[in-house]
A = this chain, B = another copy of it.
Amino acid sequence: MVTGSMDTEIIIAIVAFVFFMVGVYLHKKSLHVDQFPKTGVNREKTKSLEISPREYEVLKEVALGLSNKEIADKLFLSESTIKTHVSNLLVKLNAKRRTHAIQIAHELKII
């Protein structure tokens, strides 16, 4: 308040700043964590399969039944890029085609 001492105002400012930074930090963290469940189990499993975060993201879209073009539009990428990711996924999951990849991913419980 206007009648408050300078010290009080500084403390309030510091507290506000700290919470602001906490807010920024948590938000930034959430952007990464949200890719994978809180447990991080999936991230561990995909890591062991050498599946990159982007590839995993594409895998989830494939499992939703989207076409390469639809995934490309959704993630703001070219269809060419999606094909690359899917092709890499097939190798890493040892799948013959995308439907097979979906089945394997379910078996491994990574989606």
Which of A's residues lie within 8 Å of B, judged by CB? 62-67, 95-104
Contact = CB atoms under 8 A, between A and B. Distances in A.
Nearest to A103: B65
Contacts of A98: 99
Contact of A102 (B95, B96, B99, B104): B99
Copies of the protein in its oligomer: 2
Contacts of A64: 100, 103
Nearest to A99: B65
Contact of A65 (B65, B66, B104): B104
22 contacts: A62-B99, A63-B99, A63-B103, A64-B100, A64-B103, A65-B95, A65-B96, A65-B97, A65-B99, A65-B100, A65-B101, A65-B102, A65-B103, A65-B104, A66-B99, A66-B100, A67-B96, A67-B97, A98-B99, A99-B99, A99-B102, A102-B102
Contacts of A66: 99-100
